[in-house]
Amino acid sequence: MRILLALPAGENVRVTSGRPEVPKRAMLRFSVLSLTTVAALTPLRHEVRIVDENVEPIDFTSDIDVVGITFMTALAPRAYAIAREFRARGRFVVGGGFHPTLCTAEAAEHLDAVVVGDAEGAWERLLEDIEAGTPRKVYVSGGCPQREIRTPVPRRDLLAPTAKHYVTINAVETGRGCQHACRYCSVTAFHQQSYRQRPVADVIAELRRVPRDFIFVDDNIVRSPEYARELFREMLPLRKHWVGQCSIEIADDAELLQLASAAGCRGLFIGIETVNPDNLAAVSKQFNESARYGERLRRIRRQGIGVVAGMIVGLDKDEPGIFESCLRFLQRQRIDALQLNILTPLPGTPLFHEMQRAGRITDSQWDRYDFRHVVFQPRRMTAVQLQEGADWLYAQFYRADRILVRFVRTLFTCGWLPAVLGLKLNLTYRYDNRRERIRGRNPARD
């Protein structure tokens, strides 16, 4: 069979035949690991191609038999539109990923089949059934043992034609899931609060085949400190450079933090979320211990590791002054880059169910569930104040003068590689803000 694996993109960043220019935001693109993994799971007798709408248009007239689409909630409307186009042409369309897993009944209305959970096992069974002419509507993953992941090396070769549009096509995974229970998090919901790992030997074997610079895509690379210690020790002779994502708890383990640095860590995305301890408690993330942010962040930076902070605004204790205080916190703690999220109740999460029961969800258009739009009624400010304040904070953080100060500071405190990576990321976010005309207004000054 001829199989096309597709990644939808939002309207403002989508590449089409009528709009062929690729937006200059490569720093926000790193591989398409879900699809390259599915491609690797596909038996060699099938022909596989990958198309990512962020970098190239979909050709709906292409000669294919099966279309596989992976998508999160904000891209569900686009995924369904793609499915309609292909199904109208007689193609068999499959959906998988976070949204189809957490909203299976809805997805099944738009697709010929839905893969729920991990692809391993389910994808292979689905292809066999299609060939036999007996496909089912829903396939549930069952290919991974409870505490271990066995998965093939991703088909990165399929991204070679568009590799220049990504910061890297070399994304590596060591584990999946999270055992924390943060109430807004779809990762916890998707993996049912479980955490599984690949054998260290499998990860090291894959790392020997990738270039020096790569990215770990785990939601928390140090979720198991014992595993991470073993992995980092095995990585020492490889002399790699990498960035990843983890909990701020890495700062509490001096040996683990030093090993991460020695193994080549040059940057970490850390979900700080909020400085208000009541907010952290409300979303079940007390382990962040906001009173200790300063000392923990200093320990990380002293190891030559830059920090990208994930922050959430719109939590129930947030008032109009939160945007100014958040900006001061980010500057005081010398944060290298910011990913700012407006609180978003994603379907399948406890937060969504709580807000739905309370009648606080005000927008049911999935394409607005992109962390940049207000889709619920905040507690202590208006929806307009939250939207304008979030836009103001983003625009202020990525002012040109502040970007320059951060670059120079990081150059002298963390070294040239974290500084250059931080500069490129800052300029990309600034480009996005200017491209989307994000300015906002500080509601505390009204």
Structure tokens at 150: 């066995």
Question: 216 Cβ partners below 8 Å, 6+ apart?
Answer: 171, 172, 173, 174, 242, 243, 244, 245
CATH number where 422 lies: 3.80.30.20
Mean pLDDT in residue range 97-102: 96
Residues 124 and 213 both lie in one domain = no
Q: Give the model confidence (pLDDT) of 269-327 as tens digits.
A: 999 999 999 999 999 898 889 999 999 999 999 999 999 999 999 999 999 999 999 99
Cα–Cα distance between 441 and 446 in angstroms, integer? 9
Residue 2, sorted as left (phi over 0), alpha (psi -120 to 50) or beta, turns out to be beta
What's the domain count of the chain? Answer: 2
What DSSP string runs through 137-194? SEEE---S-TTB---PPP-GGGGGGGGGGSSBS-EE-SEEE-S---TT-HHHHHTTT-
The answer to whether residue 278 is domain-embedded is: yes
Which is nearest to 38 in space by CA: 126, 110, 160, 106? 126
Residue 110, pLDDT above cutoff 70: yes
Residue 147, pLDDT above cutoff 80: no
Residues constituting the chain: 446
pLDDT recorded at residue 145: 47
Residue 119, pLDDT above cutoff 60: yes
Residues 79 and 217 both lie in one domain = no
The answer to whether residue 163 is domain-embedded is: no
Residues 186 and 123 both lie in one domain = no
Residues 87 and 236 both lie in one domain = no
Residue 349, pLDDT above cutoff 60: yes
Residues 177 and 136 both lie in one domain = no
- Amino acid in position 315: L
CATH number where 43 lies: 3.40.50.280
Q: What is the 3-state secondary structure (H, E, C) of 279-348?
A: HHHHCCCHHHCHHHHHHHHHHHHHCCCEEEEEEEECCCCCCCCHHHHHHHHHHHCCCCEEEEEECCCCCC
Residue 143, pLDDT above cutoff 70: no
Residues 177 and 322 both lie in one domain = yes
Confidence of residue 11 (pLDDT cuts 50, 70, 90): very high
Residue 13, pLDDT above cutoff 60: yes
Domain endpoint, select from 91, 120, 140: 140
Residue 446, pLDDT above cutoff 80: no
Cα–Cα distance between 4 and 46 in angstroms, integer? 10
Residues 31 and 124 both lie in one domain = yes
pLDDT recorded at residue 409: 96
Structure tokens at 38: 């599915």
Residues 305 and 193 both lie in one domain = yes
Q: Give the model confidence (pLDDT) of 369-384 as tens digits.
A: 999 999 999 999 999 9
pLDDT recorded at residue 181: 82
Residue 141, pLDDT above cutoff 90: no
Residue 178, pLDDT above cutoff 90: no
Neighbours of 389 (CB within 10 A): 27
pLDDT recorded at residue 148: 78
Residue 17, pLDDT above cutoff 50: yes
- Who has greater pLDDT, 189 or 422? 422
Neighbours of 155 (CB within 10 A): 18
Residues 124 and 242 both lie in one domain = no
- Name residue, tokens 């507690």: 379
Name the phi and psi angles at 298, rounded to 5.
-65, -40
The answer to whether residue 253 is domain-embedded is: yes
User: Given CA atoms 187, 189, 190, 194 in this order, what sign does their dihedral have?
Assistant: positive
Question: 138 Cβ partners below 8 Å, 6+ apart?
Answer: 104, 108, 113, 114, 116
Half-sphere exposure of 334 toward its Cβ, with a 13 Å CA cutoff?
22
- Amino acid in position 99: H
Mean pLDDT in residue range 82-89: 98
The order of strands in the sheet holding 306-313 is 171-172, 213-216, 241-246, 265-273, 306-313, 337-342
Half-sphere exposure of 32 toward its Cβ, with a 13 Å CA cutoff?
29
pLDDT recorded at residue 142: 67
For strand 195-197 and strand 175-177, is the pairing parallel, antiparallel, or unpaired?
A: antiparallel
The answer to whether residue 36 is domain-embedded is: yes
- Name residue, tokens 């994930």: 310
pLDDT recorded at residue 146: 57
Q: Give the model confidence (pLDDT) of 188-216 as tens digits.
A: 888 888 888 999 999 999 999 999 999 99
Domain span at residue 24 reads: 2-140
Residues 130 and 209 both lie in one domain = no
Residues 135 and 177 both lie in one domain = no
As beta bridge partners, residue 168 has: 30
pLDDT recorded at residue 190: 87
Residue 423, pLDDT above cutoff 80: yes
pLDDT more than 90, % of the chain: 91
Residues 349 and 203 both lie in one domain = yes
